Amino acid sequence: MKKKVTMRELVGARIVLAACIAVYYWCWARNDWHSYYPTITNTVWIFAFWFYVFLSLREKRYKKEVADELVVANLRRCDAICLKISLIAMVCIAFLCAIVRFTVTTEVIGYLLMGLLVCLSVIRTILFSIMDAKGV
């Protein structure tokens, strides 16, 4: 029996991809370099690639199923909320960088952006799960 694909599963999978991007950035942005960093980056890259391939197959299968308009509307609402959150966060990061420009390195700015990416994917998943459960 083939398991039915849910939008909650597809939205939640974005957290894994965001975490892979953040770990990959962490390995690249380090000032110290250890011999195991290429192993970590290669492992993360291969895992993220295959995860994305399997996720694409699940999305293709989801599109063949009957679409639920309420789920699509909830996802659009969540995306709109996350867009507003990301706009506010990026403006705050930009002004923070302008204020403390001599003490904040580009590495820290990158960490802030990667943290924002992971946080937004988690917030999007939580918002979508709450809206989907309540049937808003």
* Predicted local distance difference test score (pLDDT) of residue 46: 93
Residues with Cβ < 8 Å from 123, sequence gap 6 or more? 82, 85
- Residue 5 in 3-state DSSP? coil
DSSP 135: T
* Predicted local distance difference test score (pLDDT) of residue 102: 76
Q: What does pLDDT average to over the chain? A: 86
pTM, 2 dp: 0.81
Nearest CA to 111 out of 30, 14, 12, 13 is that of: 30
Give the pLDDT confidence of 68-98 residue by residue, as tens digits: 788 888 889 999 999 999 999 999 988 888 8
* Average pLDDT rounded to a whole number, residues 93-119: 86
Dist CA 15 CA 5 (whole Å):
17
Give the pLDDT confidence of 18-59 residue by residue, as tens digits: 999 998 888 888 777 778 888 888 899 999 999 999 988 888
* Predicted local distance difference test score (pLDDT) of residue 1: 42
Alpha carbon 44 to its chain's center: 15
Is residue 6 over pLDDT 60? yes
Determine how many CB atoms are found less than 10 A away from the CB of residue 23.
19
DSSP 4: P
* Predicted local distance difference test score (pLDDT) of residue 87: 95
Residue 3 has φ and ψ, to the nearest 5°, of -75, 135
